A and B are shown apart, each in its own frame.
Chain A
Amino acid sequence: MSYSSRIPDVTPSPQDNAKARLALARKWAYRLLSTVSIPMGRDALDEELSSRLDVLCAMLHEKEFPAAAAEQAGAELAELGYLGHRGLRCTAEVLGKGLPALPEFQPVERYAERVALVIGALGSGFSAANTESVLTQQESMQRSLLKAVRDANWNLKESEARFNEVVTSSTNGVLIVDLEGRLLSTNAAVGDILGYSQEDLVGVPLLDLIAPGFTDVLREAMAELVAGSVERIRQSQRMLRKDGEAARLSLTASLLRGADDELGYFVVVIEDGTELALLQNELKRQSLHDALTGLPNRQFFSTQLEIALRQAGPEHGITIFHLDVDAFGMICDSFGGRVGERLLQHVAQRLKALLAGEKAMIARFGGDEFGVFLENTADTPAIGVIMKSINDELLEPTFVDGHGLAVSVSAGVVHRPDTDAEPADVLRAAERALRRAKTGRRGQWELFHAGQDAEDRRDDALAVEMPAAWENGEISVRYRPVVELAGGAVSGVEAALHWDRPDFGVLDHDRCAGLAEATGLVLPLGEWLLRVAGGQSVWWRQRGHFDRAVAVRLTAHQSADADLVSRVVRVLDQTGLAPDQLMISMPGGVLPMADAADNLTVLARLGVLTAIDDFGLGPLDFGQLASELPVQAVRVARGLVATRSPYVAALLPLVRERGVAVAVDGISSAEQAQWWRAAGADFATGDHFGVPRPPGEFLEELEPR
């Protein structure tokens, strides 16, 4: 160009200056338009920025640097459109390079500092205005939201009308109670039950209608509703009839809250004629609870443990304690059985108090043994901390019949057992650990291991070796048939990892996936498995050998991987595999995680077939199927296949009703296959139908069929 900072003596002409500014303004407009949205055409923006550039240049020529004006210019710039940080960066780049190159600002040394100051002030004015704009936009969205809710209020009115209809016609008594505890309105059924007219009851405190001796429990429960610690309360109650008689009834109450969670009013429903049901409940309670301590008994504990196991979150799991009071026999011998009983009551009480903040169940197993399971959360203290606090508490002497007694407890602990473990096995393991703990000093606890130590160490070594083994080609992909149980036809192929480790033996898919999962290798290894299997499937199809879908199982880590969708799309693109020729399955346990469910949904939308593995291990499974997860199939957990779980078998018709196919894995005999076919399973895999084989052998095996 004709301008150069190396010729400072040449004074540029006004025309040259104008031309150079115009070029810079155009460049600025060009860059902004390619980066952000501005509601202006190219010409309009050229003109706009050109006049703004003139203003900035004038500032640079002024003796006193006009900081406020430069900030103002920045603020005005922000108003051009959605410029944001991208627009600011682009402006700073263009002006930072462009201004010092303008002929009017030569020699550049004299202006360099001012240019920096102008751009700085411009930036600060810009970002202040930008922040202001973001806040304004957010505020206007909040207002829009409120407006939208208000606009939709007719909907609310309609539903209120419906509610009133239900209330009016109900044979249960419905009482609307304000936060002060006074009745606002009741339905006709309340009058039938209590003998009052509806008008009589308006403004009457609810507690005035409760029989003496029953008010405290209701008052406390309503306080809990207000505190939000419970959603709904249900109790057997006595309410006073107009004639003075007490009516036995069951009372349910909840607290309705408004849109912003502000308290609304209580809805209390009373149900008459429940004496029989109440009696039944009491009998049931007695059969499930220990009479001495009031704690659940072992039988009740086991059933609840089973539910907790199946529901346990994949992240924290549950922990089971088998507790035993040390030297209890000695205490009974010395002070008598009555003291022993009082002591057990004391222990039960302390345990309840200590674990009140946790999601825990405490039971008395009999004798001096207690069971506890904790549904762990991120905040659950470590086992050692819990045990220490239990023992610290019990070592504080308590006075029983004049005897100051301090006891300790020992414990066997099972931490995070498999979610498909049998409760009886878990309890046995805890007891075994307890016996070990008892061999040591008192107040000890022992974690259950099952020879796990040695195995863990071996696994670590294997996992570390795995990347190199993959690199060396020791890991390959094998294929096994997916068979239709009804006709025996091969309906698909499942791809599996296979590690032939020299001098060691073979590790199957589950082992490989488990090891790779532990180190994170599963992400690249899993993508590789997908790509190899996808390519193989396309190759078979092109040659007319085999044209059924290929199934690949994902691990938990893979399922929740933020890049899963792009990995799958990449594999589909690279191999040419059609989406509906690929079936991806995820372990059911990960689906409560938003990312995994999200991935599954997006894959399904892309046309990929989807399935859930480990079906039957959690009560969540069915709920998920029932909700919107778009799965074609579920695969029953292998352990449940082996045990022929009647619980799962009972679920199958419901699953199939929803158009979801059922697969079973680990089928090892014709008889087993027949059982599951009768139970309603559609597809099967397992050694009975074919072990995983290299691609060539897989095809050969298919031939004779």
Chain B
Amino acid sequence: MSDEKNWVPQSVDVSVPSSARLYDYMLGGAHNFAVDRLMGQKVERDMPQMRSAARINRAFLGRAVRFMVDQGVRQFLDIGSGIPTVANVHEVAQAAAPECRVVYVDRDPVAIAHSELILADNDLTGAVQADMRDPDSILNSAEVRRLLDFDQPIGLLMLYMVHWVPTEADPWGLMKHYREVLSSGSYLAITHLAADHTNEGARAAIARMSQAGGQLAVERSRDEIAAFFGDFELAEPGLVRFAEWRPYGPGDISDDPSVNDIAYAGVGRKP
């Protein structure tokens, strides 16, 4: 009866930093709280290039979405979307093709509440609060059922996401499940921390950030990451360092090689 936790919804705790808001801070946004900024400053101390790494991941998102739109994809499912602000999926996709439909998924309740607010007058977008490890709660959610047609190609985005799933939770089995529900011609984009990156500060930064996520991000080898794509056909240039996936301009690559090799990226097509 005196257990105070029962009186405050446990899922909304702004006294601990959230990875979604931390990412927004790293992108230069103000959709964050003091506790997130404090964590951000500590993380930047561990890894001064953190902002570049966030920006380059965001730039990859833009390229991957534009690529998928070019291939005819008009619906997107972004799992681990964070706070959809600058340069996010619906912005990029709807700029290229206004009829694009997008569903954002994140487990941070504040990020999802925020998504719902800013997307309120955009009928073609929706947001779902769910954990990627519970595919059914995502795939059966009202928003997904309202917006996405699984008989048509879907662009599934899992950016900076799967490394949060520990090996014990069988991320390969999970990804197989996600791949199976997609129709032929669908696309899957992944960015994932590389086991062989050369960034000295990243380990400390990741360990620190994992306090926000509650678990440690798992770095994986190129082969392990390639297995997430299963029988999907990787688009050129294949599974490469995330800065090297069809870079188009200065925003896509850093001058610092230890930023460029921090994650692997690939886009695969379901045959």
Which A residues have a C-beta under 8 Å from some C-beta of B?
29-31, 33-34, 36-39, 41-42, 81-84, 86-87, 133-134, 137-138, 140-141, 143-145, 147-149, 151-153, 155-156, 159, 162-163, 166-167, 256, 259, 562-563, 565-566, 569-570, 573, 598, 601-603, 605-606
Give the residues from 1 to 32 in chain B that come closer than 8 angstroms, CB to CB, to chain A.
1, 6-12, 14, 21, 27-32
Q: Is the CB of B109 within 8 A of A152?
A: yes
- Cα distance A39–B6 in the bound complex, in angstroms: 42
Of A144, A155, A256, which is in contact with the most chain B CB atoms at under 10 Å from its CB? A144
Q: Is the CB of B45 within 8 A of A141?
A: no
A33-B6 CB under 8 A given contacts A133-B30, A141-B32: no
Provide the residues of chain A in CB contact with B42, threshold 8 Å: 562, 598
Chain A residue, CB-CB nearest to B29: A82
Q: Is the CB of A81 within 8 A of B204?
A: no
Q: Does any Cβ of A come within 8 Å of B210's Cβ?
A: yes
Provide the residues of chain B in CB contact with A148, threshold 8 Å: 9, 11-12, 109-110, 112-113
Q: Is the CB of A33 within 8 A of B201?
A: no
B207-228 vs A, Cβ < 8 Å mask (1 yes, 0 no): 1101100001000000000000
A603 smallest CB distance to B (angstroms): 8
Known interface pairs A144-B113, A152-B11; 19 further A-B residue pairs with C-beta atoms within 8 A, sorted by A's residue number: A31-B250, A33-B251, A34-B250, A37-B27, A38-B87, A42-B250, A81-B86, A87-B28, A141-B30, A145-B14, A147-B114, A148-B113, A151-B113, A152-B109, A162-B6, A259-B8, A563-B45, A565-B207, A605-B207
Q: Is the CB of B204 within 8 A of A602?
A: yes
Chain B residue, CB-CB nearest to A134: B30
A166-B1 CB under 8 A given contacts A144-B110, A573-B200: yes
A37-B113 CB under 8 A given contacts A84-B28, A86-B28, A156-B7: no
Q: Is the CB of B204 within 8 A of A569?
A: yes
Q: Is the CB of A39 within 8 A of B86?
A: yes
- Cα distance A259–B59 in the bound complex, in angstroms: 39
- Cα distance A31–B250 in the bound complex, in angstroms: 8
Provide the residues of chain B in CB contact with A562, threshold 8 Å: 42, 45
- Cα distance A151–B114 in the bound complex, in angstroms: 12
Q: Is the CB of A81 within 8 A of B87?
A: yes
Q: Is the CB of B114 within 8 A of A141?
A: yes
Provide the residues of chain B in CB contact with A603, threshold 8 Å: 207
13 sampled A-B residue pairs with Cβ under 8 A = A33-B249, A37-B28, A37-B87, A39-B95, A41-B248, A141-B21, A143-B117, A147-B114, A147-B117, A151-B113, A155-B11, A162-B6, A565-B207
Q: Is the CB of A601 within 8 A of B211?
A: yes
A582 smallest CB distance to B (angstroms): 14
Q: Does any Cβ of A come within 8 Å of B132's Cβ?
A: no
B95 smallest CB distance to A (angstroms): 8
- Report the interface size class on chain B: 35 or more
Q: Is the CB of A42 within 8 A of B114?
A: no
B250 smallest CB distance to A (angstroms): 4
B118 smallest CB distance to A (angstroms): 7
A149 smallest CB distance to B (angstroms): 5
Of B30, B54, B118, B201, which is in contact with the most chain A CB atoms at under 10 Å from its CB? B30
Of A133, A155, A163, which is in contact with the most chain B CB atoms at under 10 Å from its CB? A155
Q: Does any Cβ of A come within 8 Å of B46's Cβ?
A: yes
Q: Is the CB of B250 within 8 A of A33?
A: yes
Provide the residues of chain B in CB contact with A156, threshold 8 Å: 7, 9
Provide the residues of chain B in CB contact with A30, threshold 8 Å: 249-250
- Cα distance A268–B245 in the bound complex, in angstroms: 65
Of B45, B114, B204, B216, which is in contact with the most chain A CB atoms at under 10 Å from its CB? B204
Provide the residues of chain B in CB contact with A155, threshold 8 Å: 9-11
Provide the residues of chain A in CB contact with B87, threshold 8 Å: 37-39, 81
Q: Is the CB of A566 within 8 A of B207?
A: no
A38-B6 CB under 8 A given contacts A140-B118, A143-B117, A606-B203: no
Give the residues from 100 to 125 in chain B that come closer than 8 angstroms, CB to CB, to chain A.
109-114, 116-118
Provide the residues of chain B in CB contact with A84, threshold 8 Å: 28
